[in-house]
């Protein structure tokens, strides 16, 4: 069985999605639908924006959502087998996963992502905060470090074994990083982000986003979607409004999500969108899992060859 994965902020890069756009009508149609829904030329945003501008939260999230859904549409246009059973997305990637599963329609997903990015950008400017990656430390030890640190600092992402992210007030994140080193962390890497995402500092943004989330219609899922907040598949679609609201200020439980997807019988993960970040995390979490990507024509062909058994790969 196969699960589709959708990356989050940090995977964006100039030119993202252009190869799919130029070669597949499914991708171009997705770009066009999203552009019309939010009154922004997302092709221009993805293809022509410089790295610094694309890194801005408002732009990165829209670009990632668009490329994720476009890559999914191309993948499904070329692979019609029924063994795709699950989906998951990292942070904003969860919206693309929900669009892939038809829990959200593409246009509603785009409008929500646009609002999410705007609210997070505003929050980052109003509430100074930051994030740091902590390499080589167990989750329970890092959570204890955060608890002992003065100020607001929390575990934000559990990405894989030994790869965690903390988020919060600038001074508190700095102090927690120093303490983490003292407790045995191999590396502490400050992240170039515009806010303390997945922390209490974005709680107001989450509440505002929640109002919009409750005005959207959620469809019956065509795939099991594993929620960042719980790391489990969501059976009742009515739960998604609350889950997506809480997700903004809660940890992304990615390690457990991948473990639970594997527990439920998935052997192969296909990362849709841009880059190979999630594929790398999957390999760290479970060395027996198979990872593949759909990010351009070449990667699609390689993935199709692997899935259809037409190569020894």
Report the pLDDT value the prediction gives residue 124, as an integer from 0 to 100.
85
Confidence of residue 310 (pLDDT cuts 50, 70, 90): low
Report the pLDDT value the prediction gives residue 115, as an integer from 0 to 100.
97
> Can you read off the two tokens belonging to residue 292?
């593949």
Report the pLDDT value the prediction gives residue 27, as an integer from 0 to 100.
97
Report the pLDDT value the prediction gives residue 312, as an integer from 0 to 100.
35
Helices first, then strands: H and E counts in the chain: 14, 10
Tokens 């809660």 locate to: 250
Q: From CA 147, how far away is CA 149, in angstroms rounded?
A: 6
Among 55-59, 97-101, 227-231, 268-272, the least confident range: 55-59
- Mention every residue, 6+ apart, whose C-beta is less than 8 A from residue 123: 195, 201, 202, 204, 205
Please write the tens of the pLDDT for every residue from 164-192: 999 999 999 999 999 999 999 999 999 87
Confidence of residue 68 (pLDDT cuts 50, 70, 90): very high
Q: From CA 305, how far away is CA 313, in angstroms rounded?
A: 8
Q: DSSP letter at 158?
A: E
* CB-CB contact of 19 with 296 (8 Å): yes
- Is the pLDDT at 26 greater than 90, yes or no? yes
Mean pLDDT value across residues 18-30: 97
Catalytic residue among 198, 257, 279, 291, which? 198
| pTM for this model (two decimals) | 0.94
* CATH class of this structure's domain 128-190: alpha beta
Q: Is the CATH code 3.40.366.10 the one for domain 2-125+200-308?
A: yes
Mean of the per-residue pLDDT values of the chain: 94
Catalytic residue among 11, 35, 73, 91, which? 91
Q: From CA 294, how far away is CA 89, in angstroms rounded?
A: 14
Is 249 among the residues known to form the active site? Answer: no
Report the pLDDT value the prediction gives residue 34, as an integer from 0 to 100.
98
> Can you read off the two tokens belonging to residue 229?
């907040």
Please report, rounded to a whole number, the percentage of residues in the chain having pLDDT higher than 70.
Answer: 99
- Is the pLDDT at 311 greater than 70, yes or no? no
Report the pLDDT value the prediction gives residue 284, as an integer from 0 to 100.
94
Strands 224-225 and 153-160: unpaired
Is 167 among the residues known to form the active site? Answer: no
Q: Could you tell me the maximum CA-CA distance found in the chain, to the nearest angstrom?
A: 57
**C-alpha distances out from residue 264 to 87, 214, 260, Å:** 12, 30, 6
Please write the tens of the pLDDT for every residue from 201-246: 999 999 999 999 999 999 999 999 999 999 999 989 989 999 999 9
Residue 311 CB: number of other CB atoms within 10 A?
10
Q: State the Cα angle at 171 between 170 and 175, rounded to 5°.
A: 120
Question: Any idea where the domains of the chain sit in the sequence?
Answer: 2-125+200-308, 128-190
């Amino acid at each position: 069985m196969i699960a589709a994965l959708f990356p989050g902020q940090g995977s964006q890069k100039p030119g993202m999605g252009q190869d799919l756009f130029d070669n597949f009508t499914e991708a171009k149609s997705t770009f066009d639908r999203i552009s019309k829904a939010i009154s922004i030329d997302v092709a221009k945003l993805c293809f022509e924006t410089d790295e610094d501008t694309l890194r801005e939260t408002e732009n990165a999230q829209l670009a990632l959502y668009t490329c994720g859904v476009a890559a999914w549409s191309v993948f499904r246009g070329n692979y019609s087998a029924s063994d795709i059973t699950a989906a998951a997305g990292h942070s904003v990637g969860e919206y693309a996963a929900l669009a892939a599963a038809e829990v959200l329609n593409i246009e509603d997903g785009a409008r929500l992502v646009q609002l999410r990015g705007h609210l997070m950008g505003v929050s980052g400017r109003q509430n100074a905060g930051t994030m740091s990656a902590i390499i080589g430390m167990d989750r329970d030890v890092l959570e204890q470090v955060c608890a002992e640190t003065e100020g607001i600092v929390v575990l934000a992402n559990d990405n894989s074994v030994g790869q965690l992210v903390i988020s919060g007030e600038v001074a508190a994140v700095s102090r927690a990083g120093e303490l983490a080193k003292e407790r045995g962390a191999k590396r502490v890497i400050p992240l170039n982000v515009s806010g303390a995402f997945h922390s209490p500092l974005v709680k107001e943004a989450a509440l505002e986003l929640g109002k919009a989330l409750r005005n959207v219609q959620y469809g019956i899922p065509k795939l099991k979607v594993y929620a960042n907040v719980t790391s489990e598949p969501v059976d009742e679609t009515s739960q998604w409004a609350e889950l997506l609201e809480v997700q903004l200020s809660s940890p992304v439980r990615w390690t457990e999500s991948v473990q639970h997807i594997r527990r439920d019988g998935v052997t192969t993960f296909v990362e849709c969108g841009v880059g190979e970040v999630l594929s790398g995390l999957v390999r760290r979490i479970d060395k027996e899992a198979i990872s593949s990507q759909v990010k351009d024509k070449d990667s699609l062909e390689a993935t199709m060859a692997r899935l259809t058994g037409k190569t020894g790969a």
